[in-house]
Amino acid sequence: MRAGYVFATVASCYVALGQQPECTAEENGQYYDLTPLRSKATDYEFTSDTGRIFKLNVCAAVNSEPWKMPNPASVGAFYRGAHSDVSIGTVNTSLRIKDSHPLLVLTDGAPCGENNNLHAATAVRFICDNDVFGVGSPQLVAQLPPDDESSCAFFFEWRTHVACPTAAPSGKGSVIAILAAVALILLLSYIVAGVLYRRFALGYRGFDQFPRISLIPISALPHSFADILDWFRDIRDHIRGGASDLWPRSNVNGGPHSGGWTRRHDGFSALAREEEEAMFRDGPDGPDPRFSVEDEADLDGARELVDSNPPVPAEHANAGVAPIRL
């Protein structure tokens, strides 16, 4: 159930990616994105030929504090009037494509004159121009009516390289980011659950309570510098073809030695050292059980020679010297 919920969430996010993001548009395989023009600190300010000051923002409300203007949080553009600032359009985040150029339309501005049913509106046409340094600046092209006192419709033109079309994004990067976030959440959940289990169920403390995550088993790692050298030598010889098989090495106590490797054939230095040490460990019960039958027979013959009493010479017997036993 939990896995199904995770995949359902990812699928819903993928479907949401298919919706057109704000301040973007697509037509005939051409993708337009004007979000770099969205300002969070200042507004785009310019002056008309008649000296009127305009301020506007792209796909966002203006950052300036309008003077004596109602609902300033929803204003997308305004001009400085004689008695107050006048809104010429509210915020709009949807773009249109007209003659292969992005078009941003702002409506529902201040009432025009005495006719409260007619409100000011603004249309901003963005033109692709790679020769413009920076983001460019809007310019007033026309207003209707032409005079400043009764004008209610405004037409701006904005040349900028931001308006140039690009290839439509595939959305794979966002999907990968979502999957990576899900994987990170699962990993953190595993670590937290492992810590709680090892601390309260197993009684571990300190670093032992953290679960160990390793691609290589701990038992497969060498435990000493000599083992590391032997390990690399075995790998080198195996690559060169000097050995047919590699087998786990046994330590001097007869048990497996973690992390080391040795050869199957006789004559390896580690095996020779083990046999030599085993000879010194022989007690009264005989040699180390790892010896072969032939080695045990040879040892029995040596014991018979030692246990036999050689004849005592006469001069030693007369002198009362006790024979020396080997």
Q: What is the pTM of this model?
A: 0.50
Name the one residue in this structure whose structure tokens are 């030693």: 316
pLDDT top residue among 29 and 268: 29
- The Cα 49–Cα 143 span in angstroms is 12
Let me know: does 123 contact 110? Beta carbons within 8 Å: no
Structure confidence at residue 317 as a pLDDT band (50, 70, 90): low
In this predicted model, what pLDDT tens digit does every residue of 10-56 receive, in sequence order?
A: 334 433 445 788 999 998 889 999 999 999 999 999 999 999 999 99
Q: What is the pLDDT of residue 246?
A: 45
**CA dist 106 → 140, 156, 233, 292, 308 (Å):** 15, 11, 76, 99, 121
Which of 32, 18, 139 minimizes the C-alpha distance to 94?
32
What is the percentage of the chain residues whose pLDDT exceeds 90? 37
pLDDT top residue among 124 and 252: 124
Q: What is the pLDDT of residue 276?
A: 52
Structure confidence at residue 79 as a pLDDT band (50, 70, 90): very high
Q: Is 207 left (phi over 0), alpha (psi -120 to 50) or beta?
A: alpha
- Alpha-carbon dihedral 281, 286, 291, 292, rounded to 10 degrees: 170
Q: What is the pLDDT of residue 26?
A: 92
Range 193-222 average pLDDT: 74
Range 78-107 average pLDDT: 94
- The Cα 63–Cα 56 span in angstroms is 9
Range 227-241 average pLDDT: 76
Q: What is the pLDDT of residue 12?
A: 40
Q: What is the pLDDT of residue 143?
A: 95
Range 78-103 average pLDDT: 93
